[in-house]
Amino acid sequence: MCDSRGMRIATWNVNSITARLPRVLAWLRSAQPDVVCLQELKCGADAFPRDEITELGYDIACHGSGRWNGVAVLSRIGLDDLTRGLIDEPSYDGEIEPRAIGATCDGVRVWSVYVPNGREPGHPHYAYKLRWLAALRETVLAENEPGRPFAVLGDFNIAPTDDDVWDISAFTGSTHVTEPERDALAALREAGLSDVVPRPLKYDYPYTYWDYRQLAFPKNRGMRIDLVYASGAFADAVTDAYVDREERKGKGASDHAPVVMDLAPHSTP
């Protein structure tokens, strides 16, 4: 990979890159990731703050429309084979939303994804979410080549197990925990990917998202919905994976924390 120390890859739903820019810049300087997958940019490609981020040594690929979604990949080790959108990606209300972007960074193929929320079971957006996840699986099947480091990273808006939410009883009748959504994650695993679970630090479960309301973060009423689904070649190279919970603290924080993985060095094919 990039050098003798290996590669650091992160994913982070920033909940508006413009609102979060000072914190993003400070975090890039301190965490020193080589590749970062961002979600929920809430800005179009022409409004993305390129100058500030390129000054830190990153190339940028983004896919956004200026609304509430948008995704990007930042890399300081190469940014090749860009793909915006999924195979047979479905539309919602007649629009293909900017929710997925793929890039190859020093031989590692990454996809930054912002899975639709679904709103509530029975809502048209929930059916759209399931169709979108099916398109993601088709893209994985097309790209997940044997022996290739490959990962889909981002805000999946799904908690894989009951342990990945602070109280499963609080989610009765809600999205994020339903069987069809979890079946879609199982379909990704059947396509050759595994869930790279970050290690918990202070708390029992490595949540990645905490609502802004009702003191959810201080009370650790969170969810693990920011996930890394990786091929064997990628997962086997992971030497550490953690949630940077400190970045959820303080004024102006996103409601999501970055998920960070360190990968051992290897010879790029």
pLDDT for the residue numbered 155? 98
Find the catalytic residue in 34, 126, 256, 262. Answer: 256
Tokens of 51: 């100058």
Q: Are 63 and 84 in contact (CB under 8 A)?
A: yes
Helix axes 124-143, 179-190, angle to 10 degrees: 10
Phi, psi of 169 (to 5 degrees): -65, -25
Phi, psi (degrees; rounded to nearest 5) at 263: -115, 140
Residue 123 a catalytic site member: no
Please report the DSSP string for the chain in residue order: --STT-EEEEEEE-S-HHHHHHHHHHHHHHH--SEEEEE---SBGGGS-HHHHHTTT-EEEEE-BSSS--EEEEESS--EEEEES-TTPPPBTTB----EEEEEETTEEEEEEE-----STTSHHHHHHHHHHHHHHHHHHHH--TT--EEEEEE-S--SSGGGBS-GGGGTT-TTS-HHHHHHHHHHHHTT-EE-PPBPSSSSS---EE-SSTTTTTTT-EE--EEEEE-HHHHTTEEEEEE-GGGGSSTT--SB--EEEEE------
Contact status, residue 12 vs residue 73, Cβ threshold 8 Å: no
Decide if 114 is catalytic. yes
Residue 243: closest CA among 218, 219, 222: 222
Question: What does the pLDDT read at residue 268?
Answer: 43
Rounded to a whole number of angstroms, the CA Rg of the chain reads 17
- Contacts of residue 39, defined as CB under 8 A and 6 or more positions apart, other chains included, come to 11, 12, 13, 14, 69, 70, 71, 112, 113, 114, 154, 155
Q: What is the pLDDT of residues 58-114, one digit of tens each?
A: 999 999 988 789 999 999 999 999 999 999 999 999 999 999 999 999 999 999 999
Q: Which domains does the chain have, with CATH numbers?
A: 7-263 (3.60.10.10)
pTM: 0.95
Known catalytic residue at 240? no
Which residue among the candidates 106, 155, 164, 226 is catalytic per the annotation?
Answer: 155
Q: Which residues face 199 on adjacent strands?
A: 242
Q: What is the mean pLDDT of each run of 10 residues along the chain (269 residues)?
A: 74 97 98 98 94 98 91 98 98 96 98 97 97 98 96 98 96 95 98 93 85 95 97 97 95 96 74
Binding residue numbers for Mg(2+): 13, 40, 155, 157, 255-256
The catalytically annotated residue of 34, 106, 114, 164 is: 114
